[in-house]
Amino acid sequence: MDSIINTFHIDFKIIIAQIFNFGIVFVVLYIYALKPLNKLMKERSEKIAKGVDDAKSNAQILNNTKAEYEEALTKARKEADKIFQEGKKEAETKKALMLEKAKDEVALMIESGKKNLENEKIKMVAEAKEEITSLSVKIAEKILGKNIDGHFDQKTIKELDNI
């Protein structure tokens, strides 16, 4: 073994000093580099885990919100359809009422027109009778050749009106 120690020039004092130096460097690196690095890595891992949990939570909230949105949309569509159907029924009811009112107005106008025509007919018949009476009196005057007194005219007109 002495030959190996002499061949490689191994000095135990230097090896012990290097082990001591390595220990000091290891302790300094552990305190100033590895501990903060481990702490930083642990914090980073916690942030990543929290981010993953938040993402899962957000995904769940998104799914719940989407389901609520779909439900609200379906409900709104049903409500809109119901309102549309009610409006349609109301429009049909108003249409029927308007048609009924128009029919009543037309019937009233027809009735009014019939009354007007009847009144016009009576008026025309009365005018025709008066005209015929007047013509009859004039014909009688020409036939008789003289002017008949007013009393005769009145009497003749009354008799002709009764015809």
Residue 161 lies in a domain: no
The predicted structure's pLDDT at residue 145:
61
| Residue 147 pLDDT exceeds 60 | no
Higher pLDDT, 127 or 133: 127
Instruction: Supply the pLDDT for residue 149.
Output: 56
Tell me what pLDDT residue 100 has.
Answer: 94
Indicate whether 145 belongs to any domain.
no
pLDDT-derived band of residue 28, with 50, 70 and 90 as boundaries? Answer: very high
The domain of 26 spans 1-38
Domain count, the chain: 1
In a domain, 24, yes or no: yes
Q: What mean pLDDT do residues 33-43 have?
A: 93
Q: Is residue 47 part of a domain?
A: no
The token pair that represents 75 in the structure block: 């409900």
Question: From CA 5, how far away is CA 1, in angstroms rounded?
Answer: 6
